[in-house]
């Protein structure tokens, strides 16, 4: 195992986090709640103690399943959830107002069946509520014992000015990053350094394309978000490029006797120092394979080969 303490906190977490988006049971094809629950149990048993979810994943279903799965093991887990995205009457919008943060927090606590959230993250900024007001509300919730620390998500260097006064306030920032998506690399490195945040990556397996099980004939059903054009990792030239990356991943995986997904995760762990890698998982085998990224290092020439093939 490999653990890290999130910046500005005493949260000690495994550097691989089980991502709870598929746990929402919506938009990832077929998922079975019993397998998700077994995946959480397997994680805790193997020392993967960090779980990321959000109030909107499956309109609360992800938090419900995670809470149910953890049960009496709650104290062994570090739970990160998010607020700030609202869906009402099938309309999605962002809301960071104090009223909504409070309401969202109470609902998340209820669904997770817990007294406290370890890491409460701003999912998206709403473009109107002052950061001062967001921080004050989060500080109040902390004083009330409902949350322990706070984090950020989907921010970049263009947000630096707004964030600078809050250096030392937040523990972490989540952004999309993987061998299939390196566009945000310098933003992630600079932002986390300047604001003193632990960088976390989402879409770390390129929504599954970097696990080695998909090919150029892959299609998804309408119950899977990856059937939509927005999921560029499975489209046209980009898919072909990703399959070239997978070819290199497979060679390294064979050589190091690791699952392909673990090599894809290891690249991030080595490439973004002090990072935590979020990997969505639908069943125990997936999170266990992904956790095999921990506790070893790739050879310099292997990292270089992946660097070359994935450079944007």
Ligand X SMILES: NC(=O)c1ccc[n+]([C@@H]2O[C@H](COP(=O)([O-])OP(=O)(O)OC[C@H]3O[C@@H](n4cnc5c(N)ncnc54)[C@H](OP(=O)(O)O)[C@@H]3O)[C@@H](O)[C@H]2O)c1
Long-range contacts of 95-99 (CB under 8 A, 24+ apart): 95/126, 95/129, 96/122, 96/125, 96/126, 96/128, 96/129, 96/133, 96/134, 97/126, 97/129, 97/133, 98/129, 98/133, 98/136, 98/137
Closer by beta carbon to ligand X, 296 or else 304: 296
- 8 A C-beta contact, residue 278 and residue 272: no
Position 290 contacts ligand X (CB under 6 A)? yes
Task: Provide the mask over 136-175, with x wherever binding to ligand X is found by CB under 6 A and - wherever it is not.
Answer: -----------------xx-------------------x-
Scan residues 268-287 and list those touching ligand X (CB under 6 A).
278-282, 286
Position 29 contacts ligand X (CB under 6 A)? yes
Among 192, 207, 242, 275, binds ligand X (CB under 6 A): 207
Position 114 contacts ligand X (CB under 6 A)? no
Backbone angles phi, psi at 282, to 5 degrees: -105, -20
Closer by beta carbon to ligand X, 224 or else 270: 224
Closer by beta carbon to ligand X, 85 or else 140: 85
Among 25, 199, 208, 284, binds ligand X (CB under 6 A): 208
- Choose the binding region for ligand X from 42-50, 163-171, 183-191, 208-216 (rule: CB under 6 A): 208-216
- Choose the binding region for ligand X from 94-102, 138-146, 186-194, 201-209 (rule: CB under 6 A): 201-209
Position 204 contacts ligand X (CB under 6 A)? yes
Residue 203 beta carbon to ligand X: minimum distance, rounded to whole angstroms:
4
Scan residues 66-105 and list those touching ligand X (CB under 6 A).
none
Distance from C-alpha of 142 to C-alpha of 29, rounded to nearest angstrom: 37
Closer by beta carbon to ligand X, 34 or else 72: 34
- Report CA-CA distances (Å) from 293 to 232, 254, 289: 25, 14, 8
Q: How many residues bind ligand X (CB under 6 A)?
A: 30
**278 token code pair:** 């979020």
Position 199 contacts ligand X (CB under 6 A)? no
- Find tokens 């009223």 and name the residue: 99
Distance from C-alpha of 51 to C-alpha of 175, rounded to nearest angstrom: 16
- Choose the binding region for ligand X from 100-108, 138-146, 196-204, 302-310 (rule: CB under 6 A): 196-204
Among 120, 170, 202, 234, binds ligand X (CB under 6 A): 202
**182 token code pair:** 């390196």
Position 187 contacts ligand X (CB under 6 A)? no
Among 169, 289, 291, 310, binds ligand X (CB under 6 A): 289
Among 76, 167, 194, 213, binds ligand X (CB under 6 A): 213
- Find tokens 């030392």 and name the residue: 168
- 8 A C-beta contact, residue 226 and residue 250: no
Distance from C-alpha of 210 to C-alpha of 248, rounded to nearest angstrom: 11
Give the helix/strand (H/E) hosting 62: helix 61-70
Distance from C-alpha of 129 to C-alpha of 152, rounded to nearest angstrom: 15
User: What is the set of active-site residues?
Assistant: 57
Backbone angles phi, psi at 235, to 5 degrees: -120, 135
Position 206 contacts ligand X (CB under 6 A)? yes
Chain residues binding ligand X by CB under 6 A are: 19-22, 28-29, 52, 123, 153-154, 174, 202-208, 211, 213, 259, 261, 278-282, 286, 289-290
């Amino acid at each position: 195992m490999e653990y890290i303490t999130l910046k500005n906190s005493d949260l000690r977490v495994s550097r691989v986090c089980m991502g709870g988006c598929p746990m929402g049971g919506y938009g990832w094809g077929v998922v079975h709640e019993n397998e998700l629950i077994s995946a959480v149990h397997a994680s805790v048993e193997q020392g993967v103690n960090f779980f990321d979810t959000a109030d909107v994943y499956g309109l609360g279903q992800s938090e419900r399943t995670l809470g149910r799965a953890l049960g009496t093991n709650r104290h062994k887990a570090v739970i990160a959830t998010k607020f700030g995205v609202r869906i009402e009457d099938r309309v999605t919008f962002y809301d960071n107002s104090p009223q909504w943060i409070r309401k969202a927090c109470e609902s998340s606590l209820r669904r997770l069946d817990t007294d406290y959230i370890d890491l409460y993250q701003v999912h998206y900024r709403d473009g109107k509520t002052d950061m001062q007001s967001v921080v004050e509300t989060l500080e109040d919730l902390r004083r009330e014992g409902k949350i322990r620390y706070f984090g950020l998500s989907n921010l970049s260097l263009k947000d630096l000015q707004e964030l600078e006064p809050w250096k030392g306030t937040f523990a972490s920032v989540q952004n999309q990053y993987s061998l299939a998506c390196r566009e945000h690399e310098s933003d992630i490195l600079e932002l986390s350094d300047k604001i003193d945040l632990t960088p976390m990556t989402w879409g770390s397996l390129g929504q599954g394309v970097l696990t080695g099980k998909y090919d150029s004939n892959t299609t998804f059903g309408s119950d899977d978000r990856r059937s939509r054009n927005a999921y560029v990792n499975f489209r046209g030239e980009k898919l072909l490029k990703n399959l070239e990356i997978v070819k290199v991943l497979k060679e390294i995986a064979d050589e190091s006797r690791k699952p392909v997904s673990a090599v894809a995760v290891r690249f991030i762990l080595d490439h973004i120092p002090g990072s935590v890698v979020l990997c969505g998982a639908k069943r125990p085998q997936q999170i266990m394979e992904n956790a095999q990224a921990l506790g070893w290092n790739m050879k310099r020439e292997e990292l270089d080969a992946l660097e070359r093939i994935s450079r944007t």
